[in-house]
Amino acid sequence: MFQGAIDDFKLQVPIVSGLASEVWKKCSPEVVELFTKLSQIAKSEHGEINPGYVYKPNRSKSRITKNKPNSLQEKSYQDLNDSSSPTLNDLSTAPLWTADHLYP
């Protein structure tokens, strides 16, 4: 019922969640009791099928990659340690804009 509203009318999940909440509040005690029993049955079946299951939400990718260097950073670190890379002594200290570089 509510999934159809999301798909057919392109409603956002928070809006549909609010509508579902209003419908739930207006349900009769018999309907609430029925769904409470059904949820208990589903919970017990899930426990039998998945013994020892503990919910562990995935960390967001931004938190995981925030502290993990990417491949480009790792490559630059390797280049710094590579013996074939020029050292500071090998580099010219003259600025690139000097006349020597403009007129060889």
| 3-54 tens-digit pLDDT | 776 777 788 889 889 999 999 999 999 999 999 999 999 999 999 999 999 9
Contacts of 2 (CB under 8 A, 6+ apart): 16, 19, 20
62-93 pLDDT per residue, tens: 665 556 655 555 655 555 555 555 555 555 55
Specify the pTM: 0.45
Domain count, the chain: 1
8 A C-beta contact, residue 13 and residue 21:
no
Does any domain span residue 62?
no
In a domain, 19, yes or no: yes
Q: Which domain holds residue 13?
A: 2-49
Instruction: Measure the CA–CA gap between 39 and 37, rounded to whole angstroms.
Output: 5
Please provide residue 68's backbone torsions phi and psi, each rounded to the nearest 5 degrees: -100, 120
